[in-house]
Amino acid sequence: MSSYLCGLDIGGTFTDCVLIDESGRLTIAKAPSTPPNFAAGVMTAIERAAVKIGLEVHDLLDAITVLAHGTTVGTNAIIQRRGAKVGLITTRGHNDVIHIMRGSRGLSGQDIKMIVHIPESSKPDPLVPKKLIRGVSERVDCFGKVVVELNEDEVRQAIIELRDAGCEALAICCLWSFLEPAHELRIKAIAAELAPDLYLTCSAELAPKWGEYERTTAVALNAYIGPTTVGYVTRLDQQLKEMGYKPPLQITQCAGGTITVRKAQQAPLLTLDSGPVSGVTGSVYLGQLMQHPNVITTDLGGTSFDVGVIHNGAPVVSYKSLVNQYEYFLPKVDVQTLGTGGGSKVWIDKTTKALRVGPDSAGASPGPVCYGNGGTVPTTTDADLVLGYLDPDNFAGGTMQLDRDAAVAALQLLADELEMDLFELASGVATIAEFQMADLIRKVTVQKGLDPRDFVVFAFGGAGPVHMGVAARELDVSKVIVPQGDTAAVWCAFGAASADILHVNEKVSIMSSPFDVGRVNGLLAELGELGRAHLAEDGVAADRHQFQFSIDMRHRGQINEVEVFLERGELDAEGLEGLRARFVERYEQLYGHGAALHGARLEMVTFRCRASATSMKPQLVAADSLSDVVAGDAQSGQRDIYWAESKRVETTPIYNGYKLVAGNAVDGPCVVETTTTSMVVHPGQRIEVDRLGNFVIDPAVA
Amino acid sequence: MPRISELTEVDFNGVENPYVPPRELRISDKLKLHRNWSEDVDPVTYEVVRHNLWQINEEHGATIQRLSGSPVAMYALDLNPSILTEDAEFVYFGPYMQYMSGVTDTQVKWTLEFRSDNPGINEGDMFIANDPWVGAAHQQDVMLLCPVFWKGELFCWVTNCLHQYDIGGITPGSFCPSAESVYEEGILLPPLKIIENYEVRRDIEAVYLRASRKPDLVALDFRAQIAGNTTARERVLELIKRYGPEVVKGVMKRVVDNSEKAYLEKMSRLPDGEWYDRTYIEACRPGDRRTHRVVLGLRKEGNKLTFFNDGSAAQEGAMNATYSGWRGSIMVAANQLLCWDQYFAPGGALRHIDFDPTPGTLNCADFPASVSTAPIQSMEISLYPAYNVISKMIYPDQEMRRDIMCIGGTSQWPATIFRGIDQWGERYGYLLVDPIGGAIGAFSVADGINTGGQSRTPICQLPNIEHTEQSFPLLFLYRKELADSGGAGEYRGGLSAESCFIPHNTETVTQDTLSSGNAVPTSSGMMGGYPSATNAYTFVRNSDVFERLKSSTMPEDASEVKGDTVVLQLREENFEQHPSDVYAVRWTGGGGFGDPFERSVEDIEQDLDDYAVTAAAARDIYGAVVSNDGRVDALATAEKRGKIRRDRVNGGAPQAREGEIAFSATSGLDMRKDGAGRYWACNKCAADLGPANENYKDYCLREDNAVSSSNPLIGEPGAFIDDKAEFRQFFCRGCGTLIDNEIAVSTDPILFDLRPA
């Protein structure tokens, strides 16, 4: 019997189970999601998959070598504000760290309207109210030296008070604990003794990074989603075990890759935002298969536009994240989001008569006017429909009828107000939305020292392929790839199934040049050991262990840090010199030639080790041959579509995406439709099908 | 003393007198301006190009931040990029340090007028500038102005401004609290061509760097500024190539025109009149125990607004700002309250706003006054009253009323300037940036924001304590929000905070103070709201803090340690802080809005739960009846509030005069009219509070108390000033409701703040 990789993707409506056998063959099964007890839906989906391949559930579970799963329970708890009641213990005198929020409203990089119009932008509701925060006497200084011993009487009293106040979880964060964790660990031990039912988490274990605000936020968030996440993964793991699944269940995490159930219980924060991250992880693998080491992944849905970047085969990561205006430390694949999507509202600034798109969204409900669910404000989707990009009778595989008349009426009002032609206005809406997307992509590449022209774009999400061709042309990107068929389906589950087991361990030790090689090597060795131990706990054989070391460095006296990768986990004097050269190189790549201050003293701040074990990878079946003959029935019809390039409505061919085969190419203008999306190919563009069945749009045919 | 508009004989050219740009700029014929633009850019192209211009400015700011990497740029975000038209009207400025916006266009205009002939303004040039009489906030804010040329014509300007660590002067860091003139302060650079034909003029750069104690860092920042301008210039040129110069310029002009339209529409909804605010600066030099009056007036006549400062004290010591600093301050408030919907495009509104201060005053100082402290003193004290006068102007409009914001935290900056040898054996000097955590004042519809930052730098972030302790030899005992620090009101001002530290891993730290607003509250409330806490330095010499550390019982407040309490004066220099000397710095919070008796019982209970208000303040200021377990009795509270109001009137209530309401002037005061004319009336009981052209306060019941009665955290002013300060309250003579408060030095008359046309 074959062995299987299994990926589980739990959406708001459906739970997908994707099986990949050794030959790369796919089996997909769906079951309704069953909130709040998602495990039931997962089990149903696995059962259905088993039926499809003619196996008993028990036998299937027996044959699955890796079962990987991304959970959204933590994310949902935060969105719905239904997390645990959290108590926080911290250094006496510093109780207000997460209320002060570094004296900001957490709006850096956010919507400009919130920044300038202060009455609209309060701080978010506190994660832990002041009443549930206790400061205890203890202190460590910047050398990691204990200046004040831990007052255990105060600790005991604090724990008892918080326990008696009904806290379900306890977060612990003391100043400088990333240098000397003894006090935090002792508080945790006392809490385990006095309040064994509480979920416990301390910052030195979760996020041993420099900066108490972001560290405290991390640990408070971890506590907030802790009990719910633990309950969920424990239940799921238990049920899978009962049904015969033996290897450790893998949970996807936001750093890319997966973690074990045990780790997810300790650090549920790692599961936050793992959904969009899985998309990037899947794209890393797809990019590899298609030989595109540089990929911009885009996912345009109804309410948001997510962008991730893969450079030289590795996802671009960040070490600080933002949720509800709260900033926290956690290594994470960087996925930037713009609140623009098919649901972005179109409006006119009354006094200035300027046409605007977003940032407000009609969301999923009521949604665009053409959905007929009570939406009255036109959206980007309405404009797409009016232009002819979308087929009102064949939207989402024909599962939804769109009301074009309503969309026309809503947009006509705006067109009249601006004294514009209806089509001109609708096409303008699309253009504005496309340029906003291009701007975000530009931001995540150019501002990181990357040139978008060196990249291809992957377009996921229903609305993405409608608009990405123009955005890509704007950025001079060479190709937009719309993964299709097996690839796209795999992509969803790839995030889970193709992910490697990954443990990112970090240690902060701030040192200035000239560096002490012994100390540097000591830290690297310590991190390597930790990673080795984690992988061993996951049951990974030593010969599969992989380690990647890096150090965040900066000019002394400056703030900007740059991650410099090491060839191995040990440096000699020569390696140390090479490190300076690499720092300068990386710094200038990011900040421009001549930016580095040659001869200036350097500082090392964070030491990092990524310990990973490569998982079995699904294979994709490529077509044996390419055909440039487009089948006669591939063209499913024609439609009147307005093209901005010619500024007129043209009768345009529509293709059925499922009838186009590898090697087929069609020139724009045309639209290629599948059940999930419409690929809009503008005049001067071309679309073709590659060996894997993906659609590839050339945004500007030479 | 005459205003600028009255001094027709004086040449306001930025040398002896501040530069005041004329309506028509005098530009040399040698410089060709690009003056062709398309009037009919279609709405889509408009939006796309507009968005691009915004993005260019944002990328400009991000470039400086990334390249500079200095704590000033990264934490205080003490920088700002701008795009201006060829004739120096604002298209956009950035969301960083808002003060800098107001001083940008003046510098560009001056450069156009005085540099276009000699040495000439050409493609590939950039000008460095920091002269406050030309248009910098203070000398540390160094600007780099970059003309953008298209086919030999000046198309537009991209500029940036970045605060420098040190550019010379008698005090490290270049804030010079004891300077008596500009000659004791950092280098002064009237706009100077430092980049010529794309090349840095090394000789000029050397002169610039030579003045600094930190030339390496200034050099690095200079490179960041060049890169910012270069990035922005290149992107503007790309835009021109793509859409054509007429279209891009057309969009720029329309951004300005649109902001003008939006402004005019708002003005059309508001009654004309004059509004005033008055506040004080304490101590203009070491040893000074006087208060220095600051008055701000705003007059609205149709679309035109005029700001003036009649009655403000004379320039003196080291507390002053120049014309452009004062103007920049007011623009911050005007932009946030009147132009926020135009997202940092205030150029159109400026066409209708006149700035007409009186030269020789502390916030329109003549050369060679000391101005290095301007942004944390004279400009701050010029900025916040602008929120009050503009708020009073817009209150009559129900929609605009929602944009009202009371004076925010750190309305005067309690500076802690210190230096010495750090724990790594290196020399350092620093100004503690913690007060930037500020607080946002109350809104007319909601509470202010606790430690919500300073509205003048809306996205900056404090360093973590762990970052400060890494760089400087200090150990922070606490940084905490303070109950009652926000001004009381129907809507409470945001809470401010206090930082407390001892030297650590060093023998001593050399300290200077520089503050104001420690005696007379500067975050006054509005329309019945109360003031926030004052600034406060607490210094306990030879304390028992080591015993506390040793016994693992850490203090949570400076008042808990035993030792010799020293009253620090507001400009004390070169005093030593030793490791057992505990030093705490508190900054002002946000002012409150509306009568505290109108605050709901639920909100007061929440305040008690959140440690935002103490039970004592809830009882004494909010009139709440609070039980021992922190619950508020709604019925008893209503009764208590009613009795207090009735007691104020003491039986003799005049009849209501039921005229028609013309407009609501404040939350407690209406303008009414009947056959006999227009008159002020209580919003609650319609009691007649005097004719429209008189001060309604003269018709109110008045009660004067010590300023300490206005907030539990306000102490005795006598420690710092010789003047007596009063908290004056004005109640309706009909129903005893609080109409407004004012804070005044006792010799000053009642402020006549509402003067409808």
Torsion B565-B571-B572-B577 (CA) sign: positive
Say if residue A655's pLDDT is above 90. yes
B102 pLDDT band (50/70/90 cuts)?
confident
CA distance A437 to chain B (A): 12
DSSP notation for A94-136: -TTHHHHGGGS-S-TTS-HHHHH-GGG--PPPPSS-GGGEEEE
Is the Cβ pair B453, A105 closer than 8 Å? yes
B:57-86 residues touching chain A, CB 8 A cutoff: 59, 62-63, 66-71, 74-75
Q: What is the ipTM of this complex?
A: 0.95
Q: Given this model, what pLDDT does residue A12 score? A: 61
Q: Given this model, what pLDDT does residue A13 score? A: 66
Nearest to B611 among A100, A130, A425 (CB): A130
Its CATH architecture, for the domain A273-475, is 2-Layer Sandwich (3.30)
Quick check: B51 contacting A, CB < 8 Å? yes
Q: Given this model, what pLDDT does residue A616 score? A: 66
A615 pLDDT band (50/70/90 cuts)?
confident
Residue B554: closest CA among chain A residues belongs to which residue?
A: A137
B:305-364 residues touching chain A, CB 8 A cutoff: 335-336, 340-344
Is the Cβ pair A351, B462 closer than 8 Å? no
Q: Given this model, what pLDDT does residue A247 score? A: 82
Centre a 10 Å sphere on the Cβ of residue B757 and count the other Cβ atoms it contains: 12
Radius of gyration, CA atoms only, chain B: 26
Ramachandran region, residue A363 (left: φ > 0; alpha: ψ -120 to 50; beta: rest)? left
All residues of chain A having their beta carbon less than 8 Å from the beta carbon of residue B344 are 112, 116
The pair of three-digit structure tokens given for residue B682, joined into one six-digit string: 């209580």
Quick check: A122 contacting B, CB < 8 Å? yes
Give the span between the Cα atoms of A399 and A384, in whole angstroms. 18
- Work out the average pLDDT over A347-358: 83
Q: Given this model, what pLDDT does residue A593 score? A: 67
Is the Cβ pair B481, A96 closer than 8 Å? yes
- Work out the average pLDDT over A374-379: 92
Quick check: B453 contacting A, CB < 8 Å? yes
Q: Given this model, what pLDDT does residue A491 score? A: 63
Q: Given this model, what pLDDT does residue B429 score? A: 84
Choose the weakest-confidence range: A191-200, B332-341, B688-697: B332-341
Quick check: B252 contacting A, CB < 8 Å? no
Neighbouring C-alpha atoms within 13 Å toward the C-beta of A167: 32
Choose the weakest-confidence range: A5-9, A195-199, B245-249: A5-9
B124 vs A595: which has the higher pLDDT: B124
Is the Cβ pair A99, B450 closer than 8 Å? yes
Residue B553: closest CA among chain A residues belongs to which residue?
A: A137
The pLDDT > 70 percentage for chain B reads 99
CA distance B525 to chain A (A): 16
- Helices (H), ranges, A27-72: 38-52, 57-63
> Which residue of A113, A121, A142 to mutate against B (max B Cβ within 10 Å)?
A142
Choose the weakest-confidence range: A23-32, A308-317, A523-532, B475-484: A23-32
- For chain A, helix, strand, coil in percent to 5 are 35, 30, 35
* One-letter amino acid of B337: L
Q: Given this model, what pLDDT does residue A4 score? A: 87
Quick check: B547 contacting A, CB < 8 Å? no
- Work out the average pLDDT over B177-202: 96
The pLDDT > 90 percentage for chain A reads 49
Interface A–B counts its CB contacts (< 8 A) at: 246
- Work out the average pLDDT over A361-389: 89
A650 forms beta bridges with A641
Q: Given this model, what pLDDT does residue B467 score? A: 93
Q: CA torsion angle for B698, B700, B702, B707 (degrees, to 10)? A: -90
Is the Cβ pair A560, B47 closer than 8 Å? no
Nearest to B47 among A147, A150, A356 (CB): A356
Torsion A46-A50-A56-A62 (CA) sign: negative
A36 forms beta bridges with none
> Which residue of A141, A147, A360, A587 to mutate against B (max B Cβ within 10 Å)?
A141
Give the span between the Cα atoms of A378 and A402, in whole angstroms. 13
Beta strands in A513-573 (DSSP E): 545-555, 562-565
Class of domain A501-613: alpha beta
Is the Cβ pair B48, A432 closer than 8 Å? yes
Is the Cβ pair B258, A103 closer than 8 Å? no
Is the Cβ pair A150, B216 closer than 8 Å? no
CA distance B520 to chain A (A): 24
Nearest to B402 among A119, A122, A139 (CB): A119
The SS3 of residue B582 is: strand
Say if residue A489's pLDDT is above 60. no
The pLDDT > 70 percentage for chain A reads 94
Say if residue A128's pLDDT is above 70. yes
A:508-537 residues touching chain B, CB 8 A cutoff: 510, 512
Give the span between the Cα atoms of B121 and B117, in whole angstroms. 8
The pLDDT > 90 percentage for chain B reads 85
All residues of chain B having their beta carbon less than 8 Å from the beta carbon of residue A138 are 552, 554
Say if residue B21's pLDDT is above 70. yes
Q: Given this model, what pLDDT does residue B11 score? A: 93
Global model pTM greater than 0.80: yes
Polymer length in residues for chain A: 702
Is the Cβ pair A512, B424 closer than 8 Å? yes
> Which residue of A559, A561, A604, A605 to mutate against B (max B Cβ within 10 Å)?
A559
Query: Of the spans A344-348, B383-387, B647-651, which averages the highest pLDDT?
Result: B383-387
Q: Given this model, what pLDDT does residue B325 score? A: 94
CA distance A621 to chain B (A): 43
Quick check: A422 contacting B, CB < 8 Å? no
Given the structure tokens 């706009």, which residue do they identify? Answer: B191
All residues of chain A having their beta carbon less than 8 Å from the beta carbon of residue B555 are 93
Helix (H) or strand (E) holding A274: helix A274-289
- Work out the average pLDDT over B160-187: 93
A241 pLDDT band (50/70/90 cuts)?
confident
> Which residue of B336, B552, B556 to mutate against A (max A Cβ within 10 Å)?
B552
Q: How far apart are the first and last CA of chain B?
A: 24
Choose the weakest-confidence range: A493-497, A583-587, A678-682: A493-497
B430 pLDDT band (50/70/90 cuts)?
confident
- Work out the average pLDDT over A557-566: 84
Is the Cβ pair A559, B71 closer than 8 Å? yes
What is the average pLDDT score of chain B? 94
Say if residue A693's pLDDT is above 80. yes
Q: Given this model, what pLDDT does residue A330 score? A: 87
Nearest to B77 by CA among B87, B91, B66, B85: B66
For B24-71, what is each residue's pLDDT tens digit?
999 999 999 999 999 989 888 888 899 889 889 988 988 888 777 677
Say if residue A486's pLDDT is above 60. no
Q: Given this model, what pLDDT does residue B165 score? A: 85
Give the span between the Cα atoms of A138 and A672, in whole angstroms. 65
Quick check: A129 contacting B, CB < 8 Å? yes
